[in-house]
Copies of this chain bind each other. A is one copy, B any other.
Amino acid sequence: MATVDAEPYGFDFEIPTTALLMIDFQRDFVYPGGFGEALGNDTSPLLKALPPAERVLKACRAAGMFVIHTREGHRPDLSDLPPAKKVRGRGKITIGDVGPMGRILVRGELGHDIVEEVYPIDGEPVVDKPGKGAFYATELTDVLEKYGIENLLVCGVTTEVCVNTTVREANDRGYRCVVLADGCASYFPEFHEMGLKMIKAQGGIFGWVSNSAAVLQALSPEIPLIAAAGGLR
């Protein structure tokens, strides 16, 4: 049994029943020219989640923990794109249109794929989802059940949209989630802060909040905390 220092209290887990869930680290959100920018956002704040998320990913792989990645996006024929989603933002460029990284938020395009720093390796399922939540219209429940997963360590973007929606879905289904604050990011600092605060409020109504250093410490208790936070690249 490992324990991650977390709020509202320590998060206990065992590696065989725990997965690292890496949510939507796609070029379309993290880099200019994708869906995030099409919605009017400055994408640069998302970049700061990558180094902590990469450290956690490597440590989880080294510890033999199961890793799952998600990507938001749609089929090339857009048959899984709700009409309301297509027109919502009233942007000049929207889902399915051609941008500098290919068609916006379309599976198979450069912009839709995951950035190099946290790219999936063999044996790590990539769950493609049409919505913000990773449980709706996906195989995620089946994957978690097949591997006997009960706990999720969560990194991803953005904190208040896809991370929060997925954690809420997971929590309703009985999964225990700990969200790593510095392994997540938002286009809006206040939404990042409040998205995390909503999760851990009321005794942890949606789950726990921790950070990358605490997870590295829990996975390798012999490594001093300061070294773990800066050195495990």
Contacts of A202 in B (CB 8 A): 39-41, 89, 161, 187
A202 CA to B191 CA, complexed, in Å: 12
> Most chain-B Cβ atoms within 10 A of its Cβ — which of A169, A175, A188, A190?
A169
Q: Report A172-221 residues with CB < 8 Å from chain B CB.
A: 172-176, 187-188, 190-191, 194-195, 197-198, 201-206
Q: How far is the CB of A201 from chain B (nearest CB, A)?
A: 7
Q: Are A85 and B174 in contact (CB under 8 A)?
A: yes
A226 within 8 A of B: no
Beta-carbon contacts of A37-61 to B below 8 Å, as 1s and 0s?
0011100000000000000000000
Contacts of A91 in B (CB 8 A): 203
A171 within 8 A of B: yes
How many copies of this chain are found per oligomer?
2
Q: A132-B168, A191-B201 are in contact. Are A90 and B175 (CB under 8 A)?
A: no
Q: Are B205 and A169 in contact (CB under 8 A)?
A: no
A206 CA to B202 CA, complexed, in Å: 24
Q: How far is the CB of A81 from chain B (nearest CB, A)?
A: 9
Q: Are A174 and B205 in contact (CB under 8 A)?
A: no
Contacts of A147 in B (CB 8 A): none
A84 within 8 A of B: yes
Q: How far is the CB of A228 from chain B (nearest CB, A)?
A: 27
6 contacts between A and B (CB under 8 A): A39-B205, A41-B202, A131-B173, A169-B169, A188-B201, A195-B198
